[in-house]
A and B are shown apart, each in its own frame.
Chain A
Amino acid sequence: MIQFDGVTKRYADGTVAVDDLTLQIPTGQITVLVGPSGCGKTTTLRMINRLIEPTSGTITIDGEDVRAQDPARLRRGIGYVIQHAGLFPHRTIVDNIATVPYLLGWDKKKARTTALELMERVGLDTKMAKRYPYQLSGGQQQRVGVARALAADPPVMLMDEPFSAVDPIVRKSLQEEFIRLQSELRKTIAFVTHDIDEAIKLGHTVAVFKVGGVLAQHSTPDELLAEPADDFVREFLGGEKGLKRLRFNRDLDRQDEPGAERQDKPDVEAAER
């Protein structure tokens, strides 16, 4: 579990990016941080792996204060996926995926074998192993990004708008595979997006942020849709019209997977086979 306790980030110019945030990101679940730009969701995410240091408050992962740990070592234990994948252009796909294992000093062969397994896992043809990132499509690069984050099997993953830069059709398939993958892996995931549809679709819980880094509501998607905490959240969900649409989509999603909570999805898939 990742726990934020009274965390504030104030920049030198006085801007408050995150304001007295207390939030729990439960183990083995996807917690989506959503909100308009400038709401501090990315800052919040980056404080977990110390890319940004909080001004005050504490962040712990399974009870351990992140600031008590060496940043580089801490980061090697936390998967990180970003919008434009950020793949290393000068390394082949397999070496990109094996980045963290190399940093951890794994045997090269073992690192590569793991990387190849992960390629299959995220739905990439292993024939692409020796290619360079520029030879892949945006969607494929994003899959590599996910595989790279998973390579050393970290318990925690941070994902910053990972599917925002691809077209809607690719995004949909990436989201669905991500749900499938997570049902197998059960990582503790903090997932940032500005897209409320994505938040509702992927999150076990959804944390809605307001501009100024204030947490407006943190609840399950169903609670969020049933009872928006205030006018801001209602507005962010698109008002009455938006809520209607989101509830309708959610019902549709549920019909696709009858009676299934997301945690139980592997069983459903087993039953379908």
Chain B
Amino acid sequence: MTLAAANGGEPLIRWDWIGDHTGQLADLTAHHLKLALLPILFGLIVAIPLGLLCARWRWLYPPTLGVANVLYGLPSLALFMLCIPYFGIGSGGRADFTIIVPLTLFSLSVLVPNVVDGLRSVPDPVRQAATAMGFGTLRRLIQVELPIAVPVVIAGARVAAVSSISLVSVGTLIGNGGLGQLFVDGYSRDFTTPIIVSCVLIIVLALVSDGVLVAAQRLLTPWARRGTR
């Protein structure tokens, strides 16, 4: 079943090409996922303590948010190139950090505000009751405020994950773009199949990651199932 010819009698999608390249497609998909989602993990590891600090000492928040936003404003390609001298160029191994580090920085601009907003979403009576029952500041943050912030933090992680999955493709320009590599491949050979396949796979990855995060939220916060506070 071939689709209508788009250029010079060549079909839009050549299913046999897909069949011949399943191994490569699986590898690229896995690599794309790694490049996109490790930054979210690292981002959370940085954003949670940073958000806690910003919630504890409020004056820290505006400058932190300012820095995160400026970072987000930088072109991703520029940041990738800035990282080349440190981690190298190419795909796999150490060179992956050329992509992972900038994407981690990008994720912070979404994750930090969400951690802070999440902590601020804790209802006042709850915070007050915790204090009045004898929670110290740190224990209250970790045992009461942070768990209550989880739905808002995960909402941020969902946005960051989808944006990260799409940004990885830009890495193609420095030779490490996961599924984005297929773009270049397709364009340089005037061959549409890899382009369409990579687009579809990237969209599927975004949808699946989002679904996994939604499921994670349901598991982690059974108490919030009927609409989050």
Could you list which residues of chain A lie within 8 angstroms of chain B, going by C-beta atoms?
A: 49, 51, 72-76, 78, 80, 82-91, 99-100, 103, 132-134, 145, 148, 158
Closest Cβ of chain A: how far from B120's Cβ, in Å? Answer: 15
- What is the 8 Å Cβ interface bit string for chain B, positions 122-151, against chain A (1 contact, 0 not)? 010110111111111000000010011010
State which residues 140-178 of B face A: CB under 8 Å. Answer: 144, 147-148, 150
Closest Cβ of chain A: how far from B12's Cβ, in Å? Answer: 50
Considering the complex of A and B, which 7 residue pairs feature the smallest CB-CB distances, nearest first? Answer: A86-B129, A86-B125, A76-B134, A75-B134, A80-B132, A132-B223, A90-B147
User: Which of B125, B129, B133, B148 interacts with A90 by CB under 8 Å?
Assistant: B148
Residue on B nearest A76 in the bound complex, by CB? B134
Interface majority SS on B: helix, strand, loop or mixed?
A: helix
Do A86 and B128 touch across chains, with their CB atoms under 8 A apart?
yes
- CB contact under 8 A between A132 and B133, given known A82-B128, A86-B125, A86-B126: no
When distances are taken between beta carbons in the complex, the residues of chain A under 8 Å from B135 are 72, 103
Residue on B nearest A158 in the bound complex, by CB? B132
Do A83 and B148 touch across chains, with their CB atoms under 8 A apart?
no
Most chain A CB within 10 A, of B126, B129, B150, is at B129
Residue B94, interface by CB 8 Å: no
Interface majority SS on A: helix, strand, loop or mixed?
A: mixed
Closest Cβ of chain A: how far from B214's Cβ, in Å? Answer: 18
Known: A89-B123, A89-B148. 4 other contacts (CB 8 A): A82-B132, A87-B126, A89-B126, A133-B223
Residue on B nearest A145 in the bound complex, by CB? B129
Give me 16 A-to-B residue pairs in the complex whose CB atoms sit less than 8 angstroms apart, sorted by A's number: A51-B128, A72-B134, A76-B134, A80-B129, A83-B125, A84-B123, A86-B125, A86-B129, A89-B126, A89-B148, A90-B144, A90-B221, A100-B133, A134-B224, A145-B129, A148-B133
Residue B222, interface by CB 8 Å: yes
- CB contact under 8 A between A134 and B223, given known A84-B125, A86-B125: yes
When distances are taken between beta carbons in the complex, the residues of chain B under 8 Å from A75 are 131-134
- CB contact under 8 A between A89 and B131, given known A72-B136, A83-B125, A84-B125: no
Residue B189, interface by CB 8 Å: no
Do B131 and A51 touch across chains, with their CB atoms under 8 A apart?
yes
CA of A76 to CA of B129 in the docked complex: distance in angstroms?
11
Residue on A nearest B147 in the bound complex, by CB? A90
State which residues 171-229 of B face A: CB under 8 Å. Answer: 221-224, 226, 229
When distances are taken between beta carbons in the complex, the residues of chain B under 8 Å from A89 are 123, 126, 148, 223-224, 229
CA of A82 to CA of B131 in the docked complex: distance in angstroms?
12
Closest Cβ of chain B: how far from A115's Cβ, in Å? Answer: 14
- CB contact under 8 A between A88 and B144, given known A49-B132, A76-B133: yes
When distances are taken between beta carbons in the complex, the residues of chain A under 8 Å from B224 are 89-90, 134
Closest Cβ of chain B: how far from A90's Cβ, in Å? Answer: 5
When distances are taken between beta carbons in the complex, the residues of chain B under 8 Å from A133 are 223
CA of A88 to CA of B126 in the docked complex: distance in angstroms?
6
When distances are taken between beta carbons in the complex, the residues of chain A under 8 Å from B132 are 49, 51, 75, 78, 80, 82, 158
Residue on B nearest A81 in the bound complex, by CB? B129
Closest Cβ of chain A: how far from B61's Cβ, in Å? Answer: 23
- CB contact under 8 A between A86 and B123, given known A51-B128, A132-B222, A134-B223: yes
Residue on B nearest A99 in the bound complex, by CB? B133
CA of A73 to CA of B134 in the docked complex: distance in angstroms?
6
When distances are taken between beta carbons in the complex, the residues of chain B under 8 Å from A134 are 223-224, 226
Closest Cβ of chain B: how far from A58's Cβ, in Å? Answer: 21
Closest Cβ of chain A: how far from B152's Cβ, in Å? Answer: 13
State which residues 85-128 of B face A: CB under 8 Å. Answer: 123, 125-126, 128
Most chain A CB within 10 A, of B128, B147, B148, B226, is at B128
When distances are taken between beta carbons in the complex, the residues of chain A under 8 Å from B133 are 75-76, 80, 99-100, 103, 148
When distances are taken between beta carbons in the complex, the residues of chain A under 8 Å from B126 are 86-89
Do B125 and A82 touch across chains, with their CB atoms under 8 A apart?
yes
CA of A72 to CA of B128 in the docked complex: distance in angstroms?
13
When distances are taken between beta carbons in the complex, the residues of chain A under 8 Å from B144 are 88, 90
